[in-house]
Amino acid sequence: MSELYDVTIIGGGTTGLYTAFYSGMRELKTKVIEYQQHTGGKVSFFYPEKRIYDVGGFLGVTGDELVQNVEDQARFVDPEIVTGEKIVSIDKQEDGTFVLTNDAGQKHHSKTVIVASGMGTFEMEPLNVGDRASYDDYIHYTIQRKEQYNRKKVAIVSDSRVGIDWALALEGIAEAVELINRGADFKGTSEQDLESLRAADVRVHLSSKVETLEGEGKLQQLKLENGEVMEADDVLVYEGLHIDKSMYAEWGLDTEKGRIPVEPDMRANIDGIFVAGDAAVYNGKTMLIASGFNEAMAAVNSAAKYLNPKAAPQVYSTVIYKNR
């Protein structure tokens, strides 16, 4: 971790990953630090199965497809990607470099920092079953790459529209889909959502809770509180989330309603720190994925100029990769 990077990006969502790609394209030594155990950010959690229409060049790309494409694009330039770490402090040293410390006390070193961590970190509400630790590999809090459930028996635990969306997305892919709702109805749904669910090949269990998970060496079945037992290879869970406020102020950054005010070059109030995506706020800001990509390029270009005032103001992929 003592290795010094040109650019360290905090946040591995779609904006952070695209930032890593463009940084690598500028031949900057790049690291990405993501709080969750996997990259993809809010897109992978909240609408992996939804179609997104505001990203140029894609007429209705699903969130899952977009995340996969941006991940592949980032890895094309081979950045260091670290997951499962929360940055709790950023300290600028006398030599102008930064030390980023995670919640385990480990330190990362970088010449510049680009904040792409949105409005803060979030934790999914865990499945409320005592023996869940034994089956962690089979419990998922995002659908991520629905093809992984091909011909599997999937139980979805959710009392909201998210669970319905997941169930409909897996119908026809999974061998069987069971939707378990601890309540008597689903939150945030429309009549159209409910009609789609009723027409689907999905078994719905209302006012039901999972009591135990069972299986030898792997998940094989789960038992409801009413005594009903159902076979299951995997469990998908969405029963709410906890959002932690951003730590931007603690890092010494100016904030405005939880976000970081920036100049047109995406520069924050501390020299050497830049911002992209939902973390940034400025006049005319739009909260779109496509906006984050543009801000990512601006932040990287500014970081490159900060590192070397003689650096080109921007680079062109058609020139750099003309022989690939």
Last residue of a domain, one of 210, 240, 270: 240
**In 10 A of CB 16, how many CB atoms?**
30
Q: For the whole model, what pTM was predicted?
A: 0.82
Task: Indicate whether 106 and 253 sit together in one domain.
Answer: yes
pLDDT in the model for residue 2: 77
Amino acid at 298: A
Question: Is the pLDDT score of 243 beyond 80?
Answer: no
What is the span of the domain harbouring residue 116? 4-121+244-320
Last residue of a domain, one of 183, 215, 240: 240
List pLDDT tens digits, range 177-231.
Answer: 999 999 999 998 999 999 999 999 999 999 999 999 999 989 999 999 999 999 9
Question: Is the pLDDT score of 48 beyond 80?
Answer: no
Task: Indicate whether 137 and 224 sit together in one domain.
Answer: yes
- Rounded average pLDDT over 7-28: 97
Of 40, 72, 76, 70, give the one whose Cα is nearest residue 55.
Answer: 70
Which residues are documented as binding site for FAD?
15, 34, 42, 47, 87, 122, 278, 318
Task: Indicate whether 196 and 276 sit together in one domain.
Answer: no
Question: For residue 5, what are its two tokens?
Answer: 């990077």
Of 163, 169, 166, 168, give the one whose Cα is nearest residue 185.
Answer: 163
Please state, for a pLDDT cut of 90, what percent of the chain lies above it: 73
Task: Indicate whether 258 and 206 sit together in one domain.
Answer: no
pLDDT in the model for residue 47: 77
- Relative to beta strand 139-140, strand 51-52 is unpaired
Which residues are documented as binding site?
15, 34, 42, 47, 87, 122, 278, 318
pLDDT in the model for residue 324: 64
List pLDDT tens digits, range 302-318.
Answer: 999 999 999 999 998 88
pLDDT in the model for residue 128: 87
pLDDT in the model for residue 6: 98
Task: Indicate whether 221 and 279 sit together in one domain.
Answer: no
Task: Indicate whether 234 and 89 sit together in one domain.
Answer: no
Q: Are 163 and 187 in contact (CB under 8 A)?
A: no
**Cα(172)–Cα(183) distance, rounded to whole angstroms?**
26
Written in H, E and C, the secondary structure of the chain is: CCCEEEEEEECCEHHHHHHHHHHHHCCCCEEEEECCCCCEHHHHHHCCCCEECCCCCCCCEEHHHHHHHHHHHHHCCCCEEEECCCEEEEEECCCCCEEEEECCCCEEEEEEEEECCCCCCEEECCCCCCCHHHHHHHEECCCCCHHHHCCCEEEEEECEHHHHHHHHHHECCECEEEEECCCCCCECCCHHHHHHHHHCCCEEECCCCEEEEECCCCCCEEEECCCCEEECCEEEEECCEEECCCCCCCCCCCCECCEEECCCCCECCCCCEEECHHHEECCCCCCCHHHHHHHHHHHHHHHHHHHCCCCCCCCCHHHHCCCC
Task: Indicate whether 8 and 94 sit together in one domain.
Answer: yes
Last residue of a domain, one of 240, 266, 282: 240
pLDDT in the model for residue 123: 76
Task: Indicate whether 80 and 163 sit together in one domain.
Answer: no
Question: Is the pLDDT score of 28 beyond 70?
Answer: yes
Task: Indicate whether 133 and 34 sit together in one domain.
Answer: no
The whole-chain average pLDDT of the chain stands at 92
**Cα(24)–Cα(27) distance, rounded to whole angstroms?**
5
> How many domains in the chain?
2
Task: Indicate whether 185 and 264 sit together in one domain.
Answer: no
- Rounded average pLDDT over 136-155: 90
pLDDT in the model for residue 44: 80
Task: Indicate whether 58 and 15 sit together in one domain.
Answer: yes
Structure confidence at residue 63 as a pLDDT band (50, 70, 90): confident
Question: Is the pLDDT score of 322 beyond 70?
Answer: no
**Cα(116)–Cα(14) distance, rounded to whole angstroms?**
9
Please state, for a pLDDT cut of 70, what percent of the chain lies above it: 99
Task: Indicate whether 273 and 228 sit together in one domain.
Answer: no
Structure confidence at residue 1 as a pLDDT band (50, 70, 90): low
CATH of the domain at 174: 3.50.50.60
List pLDDT tens digits, range 80-112.
Answer: 999 999 999 999 999 999 999 999 999 999 999
